[in-house]
Amino acid sequence: MIALQQVGPDPACGAGEERTPQLSWENLPAGTRSLALIMFDPDGGKGIGVVHWVAYNIDPEQDGLKAGTAGLSGQYVTVGRNSRGTLSYRGPCPPAGDNPHHYALTLIATDLPLGTLPEGLDRSGLLQLLQGHALGAQSLVGRYGH
């Protein structure tokens, strides 16, 4: 259902330029009306986890998102709050000296019409509103370190 076209840490890791990866998907479940994405690092935050990206209201008629196009809300996506509380993408970039971190990117197909979900959701708020509306999900996990 989902494929990552860019693998590895953000090339601008530590430089303040956070670029979303290029993503593509196919074979979405029947009845899919919108998509949501969550990128979560369970190793970050001293083991309690770090949310790097919350994105939703994504049109399933698109076959993916181009690199660097979904870091902020716009025509094709609503970006929610990451663990820093900002409405932006936070690329994979574990602290120097840490063991490699695992980054789970989950695509969720929903039966919710585009634009149904409000702006400003964090991961838990999004998951709460998706209860009973998820048609399927698939995750990819990458492991990155310095």
Question: pTM here?
Answer: 0.89
Classify residue 4 as exposed, middle or buried by CB count within 10 Å of its CB (0-12, 13-18, 19+): middle
d(C-alpha 85, C-alpha 76), whole Å: 21
Domains of the chain (ranges; CATH) run 49-146 (3.90.280.10)
d(C-alpha 116, C-alpha 92), whole Å: 29
- Amino acid 126: pLDDT: 99
- Amino acid 6: pLDDT: 46
Average pLDDT over residues 30-51: 95
Dump pLDDT digits (tens) for 57-109: 999 999 888 888 767 777 779 999 999 999 999 988 888 889 999 999 999 99
Which residue shows structure tokens 């695992």?
102
Count H helices and E strands in the chain, helices first.
1, 8
